[in-house]
Amino acid sequence: MQKKIVRRKTVVDNHLPDHLHSKIKQIYAARGVSSAQEIELKVAQLHAIDSLAGLEQACQVLHQALLTNSHIVIIGDFDADGATSTALMMEALTALGSTNHHFLVPNRFEYGYGLTPEIVDIAASQGAKLLITVDNGISCLAGVKRAKELGLQVIITDHHLPGKSLPIADAIVNPNQNDCSFASKALAGVGVAFYFMLAMRKYLRDINWFAEKQIPEPNLATLLDLVALGTVADVVSLDANNRILVEQGLKRIRAGKTRPGIQALIEISGRNQQRLVASDFGFALGPRINAAGRLDDMSFGINCLLATDLMSARVMAAELDDLNKSRREIEQGMQLEAENILKQLNFDDENLPNAIALFHKDWHQGVIGIVAGRLKEKFHRPSIVFAPAKDDDLHQGEQEIKGSARSIPGLHIRDLLEHISTIHPELINKFGGHAMAAGLSIKLKDFEKFQTAFETLSGKWLKEEDLTGVILSDGELSVNEMTLDFAEVVRGAGPWGQNFSEPLFDDEFSLVQQRIVGEKHLKIVVQKQGQVFDAIAFNIDIKAWPNAKANKIHLAYRLDVNEFRGKRTVQLMVESITTI
């Protein structure tokens, strides 16, 4: 679907520092930045620890476990946020003096998401006395109930939206609890875990723990590389607090102060460690960690992050890279099948439903979220892709299928699922998530009924303008601004990410050269006022391009720095291309 380019309103804010480039001032102001403090991104400006509800109870429970050297089991999640959260908790607990802890991550293909009763039983059989969830738990009522039946204590650290009922845990730390006054509701799971460990360090300092145990008080800033990676990879909103966490993590990584696992992932993905930017977490490192949880076992990704030497980290990073290549192949096949299903239903850019829900018996549940995201991006519709929960016989209607949902601005996908569940109580087995992404499970026999309800209610919740894809542009750049120096200024003005989008510009150009590289990437040379620029558009429609008739084109693009064989040049990363 061709998206409409809309230029942001030009906003000038005189409260921003004079030394900033005028275009950067405009970009910041358009994103709601109104003071110099918001762009300093200093650790001292992080929201106060004590404003996060539940920390006092969590610290008390964990302190008792440390006192008695009780067996602590961290229950993680099978995505990059869950992996970084788990690795962070493992390292922090060691630094705080624990010698009796390990982690469990449910295999998505056997146990599903979160603290299930089955995972509790496994942890109990291994001698667990305290369970600490990271990036999950707020919706795990049955699992927590089972833990309490077995006499285990439970601390939940999570950031997902709570349901109507909360689990009966000993402590819950989640900024999205109704009674939590923490100013940032956008913390990722790894951010919540980090705040918990900051609070725990203060708690132990206040009772003279480190002096009595004769252990050094840990520098928890060493964990910020994990916090930055998990925050960006989970695509949470980069509000001011999250930007501080990400920027501080990036600074440590660029300075060489990072763990071997992250260094190895940077190497295998071909990134420059000294010039790493936030988008590298989302497009290079995060997918390689996620591949472990999507296709195999996330424990492998966590162990890479916990590696103590670069040699072993490189071996694990190479295997994660191989898994990621396999994931891409599976994803591409599923996306083609999904688009073919839409064609069979006579859906195209001009004839689309209000929402898309698809199922195929051969699809891989580890990749359905990515495919849903691709469909959402291509057709600008809320999309849910379902796959079998297990490799059982699907002819039985009671068979469970799992869905992963991605939404568009204007439709809160978790709230919609809750509404469907309310009016059709037997339709959804379980669900959870955020405004833009969610997961659910239903019975195979109910798929068509769910598909109808999802499409119908989405139509009622969405406005006509919501269904038109929009690209927000920061306007034109002069040729004097389309330079390597200004590209570096833009790069350094980040970190950019979700809801604090990387600057995007649009303009008309003369088309000088065009050719396909790879399988479906369009490499072009364009001209403006006598100056020529290299540009590239990824995943282009090869039926439309190259276009021999195109002379004048309109581009929406990001200004990027291309590094090749030691040479650095300006490159336009094309978001949208149309002929004039």
pLDDT digits (tens, 9 = 90+) for 498-533: 999 999 999 999 999 999 998 889 999 999 999 999
Asked, for residue 157, whether it belongs to a domain, the answer is: yes
The pLDDT > 90 percentage for the chain reads 82
The answer on 436 and 493 residing in a single domain is no
The answer on 381 and 308 residing in a single domain is no
Chain centre to alpha carbon of residue 126: 32
Final residue before a domain boundary, out of 413, 444, 467:
467
Which comes out higher in pLDDT, residue 523 or 110? 523
pLDDT at position 541? 87
Least confident window among 73-82, 373-382, 390-399? 390-399
Could you tell me the CATH number of the domain that includes residue 193?
3.90.1640.30
Domain that holds residue 381: 345-467
Final residue before a domain boundary, out of 467, 493, 520:
467
pLDDT at position 397? 58
Asked, for residue 198, whether it belongs to a domain, the answer is: yes
- 321 in Cβ contact with 288 (< 8 Å): yes
Nearest CA among 489, 504, 470 for reference residue 6: 470
Average pLDDT over residues 287-308: 93
**What does the alpha-carbon distance between residue 61 and residue 57 come to, in Å, rounded to a whole number?**
6
Could you tell me the CATH number of the domain that includes residue 558?
2.40.50.460
Could you tell me the CATH number of the domain that includes residue 410?
3.10.310.30
pLDDT at position 295? 85
What angle in degrees, to the nearest 10, is found between the helix axes of 240-254 and 224-233? 120
**Which SS3 state, helix, strand or coil, does residue 443 take?**
strand
The answer on 441 and 316 residing in a single domain is no
Asked, for residue 24, whether it belongs to a domain, the answer is: no
**Which SS3 state, helix, strand or coil, does residue 470 take?**
strand
The answer on 297 and 228 residing in a single domain is yes
Average pLDDT over residues 472-497: 96
**What does the alpha-carbon distance between residue 449 and residue 99 come to, in Å, rounded to a whole number?**
51
Final residue before a domain boundary, out of 433, 467, 501:
467
Q: pTM here?
A: 0.92
Half-sphere exposure of residue 521, counting CA atoms within 13 Å on the CB side? 8
Hey, what amino acid is at 339?
E
pLDDT digits (tens, 9 = 90+) for 201-253: 999 999 999 999 999 999 999 999 999 999 999 989 999 999 999 999 999 99
The answer on 223 and 201 residing in a single domain is yes
Residue 326 has pLDDT above 90, yes or no: yes
The answer on 226 and 163 residing in a single domain is yes
The answer on 263 and 214 residing in a single domain is yes
Strands (E), 152-268: 153-157, 171-173
Residue 497 has pLDDT above 90, yes or no: yes
- 432 in Cβ contact with 414 (< 8 Å): yes
Return the H-helix or E-strand segment holding 397: none
**What does the alpha-carbon distance between residue 303 and residue 316 come to, in Å, rounded to a whole number?**
8
pLDDT at position 78? 86
The answer on 512 and 410 residing in a single domain is no
What's the DSSP call for residue 497? B
Asked, for residue 150, whether it belongs to a domain, the answer is: yes
- The pLDDT mean for the chain works out to 93
pLDDT digits (tens, 9 = 90+) for 252-263: 999 999 999 999
Average pLDDT over residues 108-130: 89
The answer on 310 and 351 residing in a single domain is no
The total number of structural domains in the chain stands at: 3
Hey, what amino acid is at 245?
L
pLDDT at position 391? 60
Sign of CA dihedral 455, 458, 460, 464: negative
Average pLDDT over residues 473-485: 96
pLDDT at position 514? 96
- 486 in Cβ contact with 22 (< 8 Å): no
Query: Which residue has 């206040």 as its token pair?
Result: 206
The answer on 174 and 108 residing in a single domain is yes
Nearest CA among 307, 313, 251, 259 for reference residue 276: 251
Average pLDDT over residues 306-323: 97
Sign of CA dihedral 449, 454, 460, 461: positive
The answer on 477 and 428 residing in a single domain is no
The answer on 287 and 225 residing in a single domain is yes
Residue 109 has pLDDT above 80, yes or no: no
Residue 409: both structure tokens together: 């601005």
Nearest CA among 196, 194, 159 for reference residue 62: 196
Nearest CA among 501, 32, 494 for reference residue 243: 494
Asked, for residue 39, whether it belongs to a domain, the answer is: no
Asked, for residue 326, whether it belongs to a domain, the answer is: no
Q: How confident is the model at residue 1 (pLDDT cuts 50, 70, 90)?
A: low
pLDDT at position 394? 52
Residue 298 has pLDDT above 80, yes or no: yes
Least confident window among 8-12, 185-189, 534-538, 575-579? 8-12
Asked, for residue 331, whether it belongs to a domain, the answer is: no
Asked, for residue 30, whether it belongs to a domain, the answer is: no
∠ CA 375-362-139, rounded to 5°: 65
**What does the alpha-carbon distance between residue 158 and residue 144 come to, in Å, rounded to a whole number?**
14
Q: How confident is the model at residue 348 (pLDDT cuts 50, 70, 90)?
A: low
Average pLDDT over residues 125-143: 96
Query: If DSSP states are collapsed to H, E and C, what string results for 156-179?
Result: EECCCCCCCCCCCCCEEECCCCCC
**What does the alpha-carbon distance between residue 426 and residue 449 come to, in Å, rounded to a whole number?**
11
